[in-house]
């Protein structure tokens, strides 16, 4: 199920406004299928708005968003839904739908003639549930699931949508460590097996995979840094400026790995 | 599938049996009297049969329109009747009666056309008002609907008050809701409105599923939400306008039927749609049979019967929490 032709996503000098307020200003990046992007920055820096703009959920005041070279505003919803699946931070809760029925709706843009879901759509939905280990929850109403199970249902839907791009807005927020690891491992597996491009808004600077991923740091809607994730260890002062919090680099014992950790400064003095 | 067949059989049974109920008991031999002018033949073929068909058609349309609005507004209380769209249609149709506007389009009586325009105007107003403050919230939506209903009801009263005695009585009787009209004309008037609406909504089943989850989800999965909204509003207005102009504003069918069907058949509109259409037809046909037999030889307006069942049902929804935006959400 790899995507045949290379797909590209390019964002050029994007500006998004909400009324008079500028939410994003002069944001640019470009990735092709298989490449990934981490979007970091403090709360309110425009990260979610960036994802929304890429999906034409908000319109740009200036600049271009190009999917395969085509401006996003010229794509139909259906075309866009075949390019990118979206996992919002706070998904709308489907009332009444079972997990299977909900994941099946992700096949909307690929369903057969007469608008019906075909046997293939059902097969792909089952496969997505299998992959995310949600088969056991197949007939449970989504509204009865725990936070982690719901997030996996969202991911199953994104898988069933069969897109070369996966746009994730803090997929592991609110989850316990087990589900955080599970979700992230799944995302990484998808990325490798299906050559997916992942665009992920995150507050986790230490995601141990996303090889060769780029990182875009936003502050007050402007680009503070755009480079490779592997550059981050040398960017501690940038990170301090980004979050108004000092960071330090911790090397792991095998000397390959590293962690970036905020320095706890507070009434009790410096770091623990 | 099995449940759909059972619903279909039940609906057929209701259609076959209810024409026999009424003030006048009929012998089965009237079946052969469809061309003769015997009293029994006329009662059966010219009154009971068209009346049963009208009730079924109107009930289906009201239930399906209710289902579409419930999906769109993601709330079981948000139906064309509760949000004032039926009142909008009623004002349009009443204006056409009061002003004696002749049919502008051949085959479509002016009441139906003005009923549609009234419903459409009301729907657009509702949409505009609830969107004005960026994204609708359920309380704002329902309150706007209630306010619109009040406004339109007083408009209706004003139209009625200024009408001649004869027109006023006609308007009053029609406003109570009923399918007691004689002949097939009423059925034929509603048929194109209802048929177009049914076909269009039937084709939108999968999109309605996504819309009932949420607009953002619908958009990111490939639904052109803006276009869908426009079509949906147009279709629902068409159906409500057509039905209300003939039968008057009949309430609560659009709330009770789709909500009960969702509890029994699940939330997928591909499955839900035919069951809702059949059950809505059944409910109104049965209510009408009750309306014309319970105080025979006089009869109640069917709107009174549906309101008597529907009022408590509405309260039940409110009190059990089914009416909240996301019943078991976070």
| Nearest chain B alpha carbon to A113 | B203
Size of interface A-B (CB pairs under 8 A): 94
Host domain of residue A60: 8-234
A257 occurs within a structural domain: no
- Please tell me the total count of domains within chain A: 1
The answer to whether B201 touches B64, Cβ cutoff 8 Å, is yes
Which of A57, A108, A114 is closest, CB to CB, to B223?
A: A108
Binary contact (A115, B203; C-beta < 8 A): yes
| pLDDT value for A70 | 93
Which pLDDT tens digit goes with each residue over B238-274?
899 889 888 888 888 998 899 888 888 888 898 899 9
Model confidence band, residue A268 (pLDDT cutoffs 50, 70, 90)? low
The answer to whether B82 touches B311, Cβ cutoff 8 Å, is no
Proportion of chain A above pLDDT 90, given as a percent: 60
| Euclidean distance between CA atoms B204 and B191, whole angstroms | 20
B220, B322, B325: which to substitute to probe chain A, counting the most A Cβ within 10 Å? B220
Lowest-confidence pick of A31-35, B128-132, B219-223: B128-132
A94 occurs within a structural domain: yes
| Euclidean distance between CA atoms B139 and B162, whole angstroms | 35
Which pLDDT tens digit goes with each residue over A84-130?
999 998 888 777 899 999 999 999 999 877 778 999 999 999 999 99
Q: Residue A38: name the closest of A209, A181, A155 by CA.
A: A209
Residue B161: is its pLDDT beyond 60? yes
**Cβ neighbours of B270 in A, within 8 Å:** 116
Tell me the longest C-alpha to C-alpha distance in chain A. 67
Residue B12: is its pLDDT beyond 60? yes
CA distance A179 to chain B (A): 18
Residue A25: is its pLDDT beyond 80? yes
A123 occurs within a structural domain: yes
| pLDDT value for B314 | 77
Which pLDDT tens digit goes with each residue over B14-50?
888 888 877 777 777 777 777 777 887 778 888 888 8
- What domains are there in chain B, each with its CATH number? 60-319 (1.10.3470.10)
A259 occurs within a structural domain: no
| Euclidean distance between CA atoms B119 and B94, whole angstroms | 12
| pLDDT value for B330 | 27
The answer to whether B75 touches B230, Cβ cutoff 8 Å, is no
A33 occurs within a structural domain: yes
Q: ipTM of the assembly? A: 0.88
| pLDDT value for B320 | 75
Which pLDDT tens digit goes with each residue over A42-100?
999 999 999 999 999 999 999 999 999 999 999 999 999 999 999 998 888 777 899 99
- Cβ neighbours around A264 below 10 Å, total: 12
| pLDDT value for B321 | 62
| pLDDT value for A271 | 47
CATH number of the domain that residue A14 is part of: 3.40.50.300
Instruction: Please measure the distance between the N-terminal and C-terminal CA atoms of chain B and give it in whole angstroms.
Output: 33
A87, A95, A110: which to substitute to probe chain B, counting the most B Cβ within 10 Å? A95
CA distance A48 to chain B (A): 13
**Predicted TM-score of the model (pTM):** 0.87
| pLDDT value for A116 | 85
CA distance B77 to chain A (A): 15
Residue B120: is its pLDDT beyond 50? yes
Instruction: Please measure the distance between the N-terminal and C-terminal CA atoms of chain A and give it in whole angstroms.
Output: 47
């Amino acid at each position: 199920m790899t995507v045949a032709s290379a797909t590209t996503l390019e964002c050029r000098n994007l500006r998004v406004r909400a009324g008079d307020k500028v939410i994003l200003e002069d944001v640019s990046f470009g990735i092709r299928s298989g490449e990934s992007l981490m979007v970091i920055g403090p709360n309110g820096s425009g990260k979610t708005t960036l994802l929304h703009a890429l999906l034409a959920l908000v319109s740009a005041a200036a600049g271009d968003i190009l999917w395969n070279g085509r401006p996003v505003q010229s794509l139909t919803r259906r075309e866009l839904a075949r390019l990118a699946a979206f996992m919002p931070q706070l998904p709308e809760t489907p009332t009444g739908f079972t997990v299977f029925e909900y994941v099946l709706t992700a096949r909307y843009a690929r369903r057969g003639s007469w608008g019906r879901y075909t046997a293939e759509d059902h097969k792909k939905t089952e496969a997505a549930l299998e992959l995310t280990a949600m088969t056991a929850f197949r007939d449970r109403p989504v509204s009865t699931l725990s936070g982690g199970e719901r997030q996996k249902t969202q991911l199953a839907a994104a898988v069933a949508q069969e897109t070369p791009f996966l746009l994730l807005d803090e997929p592991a927020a609110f989850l316990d460590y087990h589900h955080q690891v599970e979700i992230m491992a799944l995302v990484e597996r998808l990325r490798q097996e299906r050559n997916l491009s992942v665009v992920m808004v995150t507050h986790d600077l230490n995601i141990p995979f996303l090889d060769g991923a780029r990182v875009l740091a936003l502050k007050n809607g402007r680009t503070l840094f755009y480079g490779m994730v592997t550059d981050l260890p040398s960017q501690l002062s940038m990170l301090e400026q980004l979050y108004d919090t000092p960071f330090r680099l911790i090397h792991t014992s095998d000397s390959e790995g590293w962690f970036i950790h905020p320095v706890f400064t507070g009434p009790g003095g410096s770091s623990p | 599938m099995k449940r759909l067949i059972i619903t279909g059989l039940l609906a057929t049974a209701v259609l076959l049996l209810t024409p026999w109920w009424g003030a006048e008991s009929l012998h089965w031999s009237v079946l052969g009297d469809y061309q003769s002018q015997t009293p029994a033949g006329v009662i059966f073929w010219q009154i009971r049969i068209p009346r049963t068909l009208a009730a079924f058609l109107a009930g289906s349309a009201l239930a399906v329109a209710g289902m579409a609005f419930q999906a769109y507004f993601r709330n079981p209380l948000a139906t064309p009747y509760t949000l004032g769209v039926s009142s909008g249609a009623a004002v349009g149709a009443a204006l056409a009666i009061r002003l004696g506007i002749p049919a502008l389009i051949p085959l479509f009586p002016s009441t139906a056309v003005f009923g549609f325009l009234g419903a459409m105007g009301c729907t657009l107003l509702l949409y505009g008002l609830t969107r004005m403050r960026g994204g609708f919230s359920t309380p704002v939506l329902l309150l706007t609907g209630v306010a619109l209903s009040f406004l339109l009801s007083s408009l209706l009263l004003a139209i009625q008050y200024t009408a001649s005695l004869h027109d006023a009585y006609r308007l009053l009787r029609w406003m109570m809701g009923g399918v007691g009209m004689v002949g097939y004309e009423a059925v034929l008037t509603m048929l194109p409105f209802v048929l177009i609406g049914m076909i269009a909504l039937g084709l939108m089943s999968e999109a309605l599923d996504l819309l009932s989850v949420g607009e953002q989800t619908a958009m990111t999965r490939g639904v052109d939400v803006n276009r869908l909204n426009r079509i949906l509003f147009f279709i629902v207005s068409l159906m409500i306008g057509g039905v209300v102009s003939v039968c008057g504003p009949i309430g609560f069918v659009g709330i009770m039927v789709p909500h009960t069907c969702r509890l029994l058949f699940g939330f997928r509109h591909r499955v839900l749609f035919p069951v809702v259409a059949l059950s809505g037809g059944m409910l109104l046909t049965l209510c009408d049979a009750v309306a014309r037999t319970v105080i025979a030889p006089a009869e109640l307006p069917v709107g009174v019967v549906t309101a008597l069942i529907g009022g408590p049902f509405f309260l039940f929804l409110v009190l059990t929490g089914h009416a909240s935006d996301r019943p078991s959400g976070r």
